[in-house]
Structure 1
Amino acid sequence: MNRFFEENDTCSALEAQYNAQRIAFAPIIFQTARSMRDLGVLKALYEHKEGMSVDALAKETGLSRYGLITLLETALSADIVKQEDERYFITKTGYFLLNDPMTIANMNYNHHVNYQGLFWLDKAILSGKPEGLKVFGSWESIYPALSSLPEDAQQSWFRFDHFYSDSAFPEAVQKLLALKPKRILDVGGNTGKFSMLLAKSNQALHVSIMDLPEQLALAKVNIQKEGLEKHISLLPANVLSSEHHFPKGFDIIWMSQFLDCFSEEMIVMILSKAKEAMDENTRLCIMEPFWDRQRFETSAYCIINTSPYFTAMANGYSKMYHSKDFIALIERAGLTIEAIDDHLGVCQSLLYIRHLA
């Protein structure tokens, strides 16, 4: 585990005051940076390494001098551009805003999914409900709403979700196949991406996806497109229902970025249900991005700052977890961790769990 963010009060009072102003104006900086990206300003500066005047930028982008100067001066204060004489140049920060896949996924997700709803974060903290979700409609949580979200929000949500999981999927598949399973239960399988990768990697393997009916509708379309209906079954279920029980007979029960969608008590309840369906040969394999087990502080920063989304938008009660807090929940459910593999893909850890009587 890494000790991120433990020595973060070492700046001077003047520096601290400046940092506070950067936070106070952060929404303006965010929207300025996004606008410069989406309106082609960053692209123009990136393509003109010799720098560009305001007039040259206006000609290339079709934007007014007023609009450009407004964006450029704010960008100058945020280290997104630099100025030499009358020319503007893109900085390293500007480069990442324009080209870095992680930054693009994060920015689109925060703009299209979170930006308006986070206005109600304080109300969500007080009520324990996703008060910001009202910007998209009357839903109790975001998950049944995913298939009904506006296209930009839906695409940004899935791109964000998949960015942090997809890079780990190939390695995770190989680790699961090394356990020589015949039947795998993919709990919270979402669009079916992981299950399809499993099925394609081993034709003798059968995978069942257990998820909400609304999510399975998306998975079904993808599975049919790939012609994998014989290899993947769909099990509609609400794991929070008191009447729901996990099906038995699986070699592996798989959960990827699933349990962070629930409160601590819900996680213990879900794990206890999984335990009831396990025998001495069953492994429960959980993949989660724990912020304290990252290689780099950048990943830890991104993961930690996803938690307010869960509070204001997703459901009002879940979050991204520190590994010691998550492990304590597994132990409360009466399960035992065999091993942990860290650093799969961008940020994932894989937990191998047994039910030892």
Structure 2
Amino acid sequence: MGREISAPSLFQLGYYWEAKIFLTSVKLDLYTPMGSGPKTAAEIASAVGADPENLERLLDSLVAIGLIHREGIRYANTPVVAEFLVKTSPFYMGELMLLQDEEWEAWGKLEEVVRTGKPPVKGNIFMNRPEVGEKILRVLDRMAKRVAPSLAERIDLSGYKTFLDVGGGAGTFSMAFCKRYPHLQGTLFDLPETLATTQKNIDKEKMTGRIRLVGGNFNLDELPGTFDVVFLSDILHYQTSEENAALFRKLSRAANPGGLIIVKDMFLNEDASNPGWNAIFSIHMMVYSEKGRCFSGSEIRGWLEKAGFHWVTEMERNTVLTAIK
């Protein structure tokens, strides 16, 4: 079931107010000064270069939203904000919020896209704006560091020797699996312009001898050999059904008999009456990419089985599937 809707909530849904207040607060970097403890509006204004009176009104609106607390004349971060929006935090996600602020105009074209069925852009952010794509990779790397080690624990790769990460980006999952299984030899395949960022991360983690980097386009180029494990993370929602079906056929050719495929993405619920939050993310892909959308787990299962993978298992609801070649 979706959220319960009332007359007041209808009006709230129609306002952009909270979203713009939040995104502006990230752009002003209001949360970092409070990272060292509660601050007054004047102290925060001095730290970020803002008008104290207007900033106090903005801070009070953030209190009303629930992002921060007010203690007398001082303001303090909530735990979630402290973890994700203070620049000194290892899990800082502010760049992703800033990208959402840049999407303001793209979302303004939603009606046009729905009426015409024509995409508002060509390609996607990684192709069109590599400098922004690099920022996104950094954020995705931090996000993945929270989940990659636990995924590597839950999926047993002790019986496999070689690992291919297709479109592996920053290399976070490759490194997590290779750290968990010291005998595993990794290969990461992604666009050459992405691999510069990947190489920095692998060098930093001293994993150069464990993970080979190969440049190429997984839709156009053949994959570099055959492997015991093939891993695919957050690729499908950038592509069409036809492209994904063809990609799974290619991944099947790259998997050894008895090999394992791991598919991580954002799946729609199987129950069409309750598609889940990923249905909203699918709209984001509609306004910010040429052909992106979310798919249901059953659609992905169908591509896997037609490509020669079987024993499909949902490891994590609407997020991770595994199958055997």
Aligned equivalent of 2:320, options 327, 350, 354: 350
CA contact (8 A) 2:238 2:292 kept: yes
1:34-77: CA deviation from partner (whole Å, max 9, x where unpaired): 36x723598299626xxxxxxx5325643534323442454465
Structure 1: stretches of 5+ with no match in the other structure: 1-5, 49-55, 132-138, 294-299
Partner of 2:34: 43
* Bigger Rg, structure 1 or 2: 1
Among the aligned pairs, what percent are the same residue?
18
Superposition deviation, residue 114 in structure 1: 2.7
- What is the CA–CA distance in structure 1 between the aligned matches of 2:268 and 2:290, rounded to whole Å? 20
CA contact (8 A) 1:192 1:222 kept: yes
Structure 2: stretches of 5+ with no match in the other structure: 271-275
Confirm whether residue 206 of structure 1 aligns to residue 185 of structure 2: yes
3-state DSSP of counterpart to 1:251? strand
1:275-301: CA deviation from partner (whole Å, max 9, x where unpaired): 2333532221212344649xxxxxx64
Partner of 1:220: 199
Confirm whether residue 18 of structure 1 aligns to residue 11 of structure 2: yes
3-state DSSP of counterpart to 1:282? strand
Q: Which amino acid in structure 2 is aligned with residue 57 of structure 1? A: A
Residue 340 to residue 103, structure 1, CA distance change in 2 (3 Å):
farther
1:90-119: CA deviation from partner (whole Å, max 9, x where unpaired): 58xx62563143899796244322322341
Partner of 1:120: 106
CA contact (8 A) 1:199 1:205 kept: yes
Superposition deviation, residue 248 in structure 1: 4.3
Partner of 2:84: 101
Aligned equivalent of 1:268, options 234, 245, 253: 245
Residue 220 to residue 112, structure 1, CA distance change in 2 (3 Å):
same
Superposition deviation, residue 225 in structure 1: 4.5
- What is the CA–CA distance in structure 1 between the aligned matches of 2:173 and 2:300, rounded to whole Å? 23
Superposition deviation, residue 160 in structure 1: 3.5
Residue 106 to residue 81, structure 1, CA distance change in 2 (3 Å):
closer
Residue 130 to residue 46, structure 1, CA distance change in 2 (3 Å):
farther
Q: Which amino acid in structure 2 is aligned with residue 58 of structure 1? A: A
3-state DSSP of counterpart to 1:318? coil
- What is the CA–CA distance in structure 1 between the aligned matches of 2:86 and 2:236, rounded to whole Å? 25
Confirm whether residue 310 of structure 1 aligns to residue 281 of structure 2: no
Structure 1 stretches of 4+ with a deviation exceeding 6 A read 81-84, 102-107
Superposition deviation, residue 274 in structure 1: 1.4
- Stretch of structure 1 that moved more, 315-324 or 265-274: 315-324
Equivalent residues in 2 for 1:56-71, closer than 5 Å: 57-58=41-42, 61-62=45-46, 63-71=50-58
CA contact (8 A) 1:97 1:103 kept: no
Aligned equivalent of 2:234, options 241, 247, 257: 257
- What is the CA–CA distance in structure 1 between the aligned matches of 2:205 and 2:52, rounded to whole Å? 50
Superposition deviation, residue 169 in structure 1: 1.5
Superposition deviation, residue 255 in structure 1: 1.2
- Stretch of structure 1 that moved more, 280-289 or 73-82: 73-82
1:291-331: CA deviation from partner (whole Å, max 9, x where unpaired): 649xxxxxx64x55443443333x32223444344334434
- What is the CA–CA distance in structure 2 between the aligned matches of 1:284 and 1:80, rounded to whole Å? 40
Give the TM-score normalised by the residue count of structure 2: 0.76
Partner of 2:262: 285
- What is the CA–CA distance in structure 2 between the aligned matches of 1:204 and 1:26, rounded to whole Å? 49
Aligned equivalent of 1:78, options 65, 79, 82: 65
- What is the CA–CA distance in structure 1 between the aligned matches of 2:311 and 2:185, rounded to whole Å? 25
- What is the CA–CA distance in structure 2 between the aligned matches of 1:44 and 1:169, rounded to whole Å? 26
Q: Which amino acid in structure 1 is aligned with residue 81 of structure 2? A: L
Superposition deviation, residue 30 in structure 1: 2.2
Residue 124 to residue 239, structure 1, CA distance change in 2 (3 Å):
farther
Larger relative contact order (C-alpha < 8 A, sep ≥ 6)? 1
Q: Which amino acid in structure 2 is aligned with residue 68 of structure 1? A: L
Superposition deviation, residue 183 in structure 1: 1.2
Q: Number of residues paired by the alignment?
A: 311
Partner of 1:180: 159
Equivalent residues in 2 for 1:129-140, closer than 5 Å: 129=119, 131=121, 140=123
Equivalent residues in 2 for 1:228-243, closer than 5 Å: 228-241=207-220
